[in-house]
Homo-oligomer: A and B are copies of this chain.
Amino acid sequence: MASDGSSNSSSIPDRQQIARQRLRIIAGHLQKPLDPSDGDISARECSGPDKQPGDTTTNSVPRRRQEVMKWNGWGYSDSRFHFNKKGQAEFTGKRYKLSGMIMPSLKEWFEGTFGANVQHKSFASAVPSPGSVKPPALNQAFVEGVQSAGVPFSSDAEDRVFRGHGHCLHEIFALREGRVGRVPDMVVWPNCHDDVVKIVELACKHNVCLIPYGGGTSVSSALECPLEETRSIVSLDTSQMNRILWIDEKNLTAHVEAGIVGQDLERLLGESGYCTGHEPDSMEFSSLGGWVATRASGMKKNIYGNIEDLLVHVRMVTPKGVMEKSCLVPRMSCGPDIHHFILGSEGTLGVVTEVTIKIRPVPEYQKYGSVVFPNFDMGVACLREVAKQRCAPASIRLVDNEQFQFGHALKPQVSSMFTSFLEGLKKFYITKFKGFDPQHLCVATLLFEGDREKVLQHEKQVYDIAAKFGGLAAGEDNGQRGYMLTFVIAYLRDLGMDHFVIGESFETSVPWDRVLDICRNVKERITRECKDKGVQFTPFSTCRVTQTYDAGACVYFYFAFNSRGLSDPVHVYEQVEHAARQEILANGGSLSHHHGAVATAAAPCQGVQPRRQRIRQQIFRSFLHASAAAPPTNGARVGCLFLLNNDLMNPNGARPDDQRVLISGRTPPRTYPLPSTPAELELYRPSSLLQVVIPRSTPSSLLTPAPPPENAPSPLTLGEVYQQQRLARKTDEV
């Protein structure tokens, strides 16, 4: 009987006995994995709805990605921009609203902006040249294990090449030149959570290196295979784990396999009248598990939240076992939150296999909108006010003037009115926005969701605020086109590359009072750096504010330039991007708002990664020495918090050190991984004279192990700098 039982359990001797017993068991459990022979494979059937092998009804991206996807560019093979014989820009295929349309103004804008000539073409090699792919270095024992576990796998060159890269510029650039670097030796396609458990256990047993692969849209180099990796690298492709296991209409949650891609998830939920509302720009191809592993942010987070807000429960298979919370509750206060260890781990700690995610009824009503502001400053001020009043629509984005013009250049042919880009632009602003300078005006695009009545109220509230900042409503079409472009814009980089124009995007989050500085300083810095690095044409350097929060915003930068005449365009590109990121840090921005960690720290170029690997390993080893050496009650080993990293899982993924957490104990404090050279130290002195921020991480302390003189002034903390600014401001006001 329960009650009897618990009364027994609480008598002292009992409890001590139980204590000893559990102590043995737990210790045993924890040590077991040390003995590889213990990694016995469990033979369970996949749970959840049956799946036909090769069943692609739910799957927009087939197992053989090459059937529909480009091998060296973005997205679907049948969808691309090109300049037709008449020199008109055209978007091929049938998948998108823009498909099959002509963009009459794009050529003029393109040639004008980049000093390019659409006649000059740089052809990408069509398929990986036979010799370019090294034969796989297979781990036979692992292969046999996978075979006997009945998990599909392949070591076909194409399968491997498709999973050996993400979409960083340097990755795509190399592929276009037919240069295929290290790629996985083998691809496995688990069908369910239990398959992943088997694979990870086999990997531990046979010392194979696993790189989880979801949608392959990584822009953080996380899918790159380290050149110095000596083990067999296996790409664990979750694309076949794509089922919705259950929908809980009472709690508004759905339990979904992590390999499902965004478009499929929303389509399938839509059939039941629900959605997650999570819409990252990559949602056509990126996967649920990838969102979790990289802390994805969705366009409509103002209603639905970012991935960390949508998450109710996660299962992650680690070499140590399956990690998951033991209940599906909305909030817990028992110690640190393991979900926030998993979020952002970028495949370094394990494989996310199943996710319980919040769902909402599909909104009754959607309405787009747009507002034109006389200049960017007014636009930012308006967004800040909207955030302050907590009335942001599902999505609100502010593009700067350069991006406004760019968007204009992408207008498809509707009348003869737009035969000349400048003509059209002029007409547009003259007719609609008298007195607005086309070289300064900027546009906010809006998306409202909810029930009709509330949306209309909400809309009025936002437009009223906008009016206070000189904003004029610019119609639903402009807004809708803005969001329509979200998905096709990623295809434009390939068009650029076809004509020697290379570019990429990166993003940051920043306090409100720094938004204007960071936008101006970073764009200027890019232009200056391009000049310094020998770029012969002015770069296209633009930004938009894509997310608003209580205490700050997300700023998204694009930049691109005509690389003709440069011997190593990618290297130049990465030097410029690296400088731009230093400018971001110096202006109080974060390394990343949602893209992830690696690209940022990997800049300025690939060569950096092995360095980071070595440093990490050293870091972790030192920690381990520290901890193992010291007795448990010794002050020296304590208080430090870190993830016992997994050299097996995705050696290229994020690490805690990517976060630039300050471990500053002594004065002056030390930090890693940035900056590491006097040059980088220089970069910490912002080029703008405003808002000087000196991070607590004084690089000099990194470069001089010797302790500083007794009376050395300690660097200001961000807090102290802010405080001084506050005081200064106060006195100004007096």
Contact = CB atoms under 8 A, between A and B. Distances in A.
B643 A330 contact: no
Nearest to A325: B661
B336 A656 contact: yes
Given A207-B633, A663-B321, A723-B47, A554 B654 contact: no
Contact of A252 (B15, B343, B550, B639): B550
A207 B22 CA distance: 29
Given A207-B635, A608-B15, A714 B334 contact: no
A30 B594 contact: no
A726 to B, nearest CB: 4
A340 B582 CA distance: 27
Interface string A1-45: 111111111101011101101111111111111111010101010
Contact of A662 (B28, B322, B512): B322
A639 B718 CA distance: 34
Contacts of A29: 663, 670, 705
Contacts of A250: 511-513
Contact of A615 (B22, B341, B512): B22
A52 interface: no
A246 interface: yes
Interface in A576-605: 578-579, 582, 585, 588-597, 600, 604-605
Nearest to A354: B719
A312 interface: yes
Contacts of A575: 6-7, 10
Nearest to A512: B251
Interface stretch (A100-108, A183-191, A397-405, A525-533): A525-533
B628 A639 contact: no
Interface stretch (A88-96, A161-169, A263-271, A675-683): A675-683
Contacts of A648: 633, 635, 638-639
A708 to B, nearest CB: 10
Interface string A315-336: 1001111111111111111111
A25 B346 CA distance: 27
Interface string A661-697: 1111111011111001111101101010000000111
Given A251-B513, A605-B10, A617 B642 contact: no
Contact of A245 (B205, B597, B723): B723
A707 B306 CA distance: 41
Given A248-B722, A321-B663, A550-B330, A336 B6 contact: no
A459 to B, nearest CB: 16
A640 B27 contact: no
A571 B34 CA distance: 41
A664 to B, nearest CB: 4
Given A325-B659, A635-B203, A678-B5, A31 B626 contact: yes
Given A255-B722, A705-B24, A677 B5 contact: yes
Given A635-B36, A663-B322, A618 B3 contact: no
Contacts of A591: 332, 334
B682 A5 contact: yes
A532 B306 contact: no
Contact of A628 (B625, B634, B720): B625
A180 interface: no
Contacts of A618: 23, 26-27
A430 interface: no
A268 to B, nearest CB: 15
Given A245-B719, A252-B551, A322 B665 contact: yes
B23 A615 contact: yes
B251 A25 contact: no
Contacts of A248: 511, 513, 722, 726
Contacts of A676: 9, 18, 21-22
Nearest to A301: B331
A676 to B, nearest CB: 5
A368 B65 CA distance: 58
Contacts of A523: none
A484 interface: no
Interface in A329-356: 329-346, 349-350, 354, 356
24 contacts: A2-B679, A2-B687, A3-B529, A7-B533, A9-B677, A9-B679, A15-B607, A22-B673, A23-B615, A34-B625, A35-B636, A48-B723, A207-B635, A248-B513, A251-B552, A252-B551, A322-B663, A327-B585, A327-B588, A328-B722, A329-B590, A330-B549, A330-B554, A335-B345
Given A30-B626, A36-B635, 15 more contacts: A6-B579, A10-B574, A18-B676, A26-B622, A47-B723, A324-B662, A326-B671, A331-B549, A332-B590, A334-B592, A336-B342, A336-B643, A358-B550, A639-B648, A641-B643
